[in-house]
Each structure stands twice: as structure tokens, then as C-alpha cells.
Amino acid sequence: MQATYQAKITDKGIYPLLDAMAALYGRAERAFFVDLQVRRRALSQCKREYIRNFGLTARQFNALRANLDGKVEAAREGQKNRIAHLQDAIAAAKKAVKKAERDLAKLRNKKVRAARRRPCGIGCASPCTRSGGACTRWNDVLPSFGRITRRGGCASASEGRSFSMPNSTGRPTV
């Protein structure tokens, strides 16, 4: 079981001293990080220099080193977690792209099938298959000409009926 203890300093006159110690410790820690991680200097060389330049004791320097090692290790673990998270995000994005490509292909296939059912390109309500590729469903294509009554499906030449373009009166002739 872990417990946390708290102490409050009632003497406010010590605060400036504590602030100065925290500032010194922060400057020493940042400089030590640069020397150890960026410049790759030896730990023993840094220890001698920091004890002399910053006025630290060996115990304070060791605490500084342990604190810095913990921060560096935490940053490395955080990078590993971030890489794993980004790899999962990339995999999910690739999966979404594949799904979108499949959906797009289905949509394109639907449009191609619809265009094949309507060879006239006008877009009748139902496919005209008996007319040999020419659309003869005037009721669907040209509703403004009024209703043309006929029996059966598409009119075709084989049934003895055919439609022509509207005459001068504006109505299709049968």
C-alpha cells in the first residue's frame, strides 16, 4: 500500500530560498540532459563538473541523475506507445480506404449496369429490351405529350406498332 504525505511550511520567509534552489536544480537538470543525451559526455566527467560548477553535493547530483534517467525512460516509453498507436491508426486508415474503394467499385458497377439496361441513354423508368436498343417508351420519356395508351410492354416493330417523333401538333404519332 502506498501513502502520500504532505507538509506545509508556515514560515513564508523560506520561500525565496526554496525558489532559488528549484531554479538552480532546473538549470542543472537541463544542462545535464544536454551534456549526457545530446553531447554524449561521460557520467563521471559530468559529475565532477556539475559538483564544482553548480555547488551540488554528490547525493544531490545522484538524485539529479536518477530524476533525469526516469524522465528520459518515460519519454522513450511514450514514444513506443505513440508509435504503436500510430501504426494502429495507419492500419485502420488503410482498412477504411479499402472499404471506400470497394464501395466506389460497387457504385460504379451499379451505374454501368443501369446504363446497360437503358441503352437509349435517356433514362426510362424500366429497361426497353424488346425494341432492339431504341427507346420507344414515350410515356416514360416524354410525359408532357400526354398519355399514350398501348397494350403490353415496349412497342416494337415486330408487333406492328411503332412510334415516331412528334408531328407538328406536338403529339407523337402511332
> Is 32 in the same domain as 109?
yes
Q: What pLDDT is attached to residue 157?
A: 40
How many distinct structural domains can be found in the chain? 2
Per-residue pLDDT tens over the stretch 139-166: 454 444 444 444 444 444 444 444 455 5
Specify if 135 maps to a domain: yes
Q: What is the Cα–Cα distance from 138 to 119, expressed in whole angstroms? A: 15
Q: Which three cell numbers stand for residue 48?
A: 565532477
Q: Which domain holds residue 95?
A: 12-117
Q: What pLDDT is attached to residue 110?
A: 81
> Is 67 in the same domain as 126?
no
CA separation, residue 163 to residues 130, 137, 140, 152 (Å): 14, 9, 13, 14
Q: What is the Cα–Cα distance from 89 to 86, expressed in whole angstroms? A: 5
Measure CA of the first residue to CA of the last residue in the chain; give whole Å: 97
> Is 61 in the same domain as 142?
no
Do residues 60 and 32 touch, judged by C-beta distance below 8 A? no
Query: Of 159, 149, 115, 154, nearest to 136 (Cα)?
Result: 154
Per-residue pLDDT tens over the stretch 118-133: 545 555 555 555 555 4
> Percent of the chain having pLDDT more than 70?
66
Q: What is the Cα–Cα distance from 90 to 84, expressed in whole angstroms? A: 10
Per-residue pLDDT tens over the stretch 33-91: 999 989 999 999 999 999 999 999 999 999 999 999 999 999 999 999 999 999 999 99
Go through 39-67 and write b for each residue having 16 or more CB atoms within 10 A of its CB, e for each that does not. Answer: eeeeeeebbeebeeebebeeebbeebbee
Question: Last residue of a domain, which of 95, 117, 139?
Answer: 117
Q: Which three cell numbers stand for residue 52?
A: 564544482
Do residues 130 and 156 touch, judged by C-beta distance below 8 A? yes
Specify if 1 maps to a domain: no
pTM: 0.51
Which residues, listed in sequence order, are joined to residue 172 by a DSSP beta bridge? 166
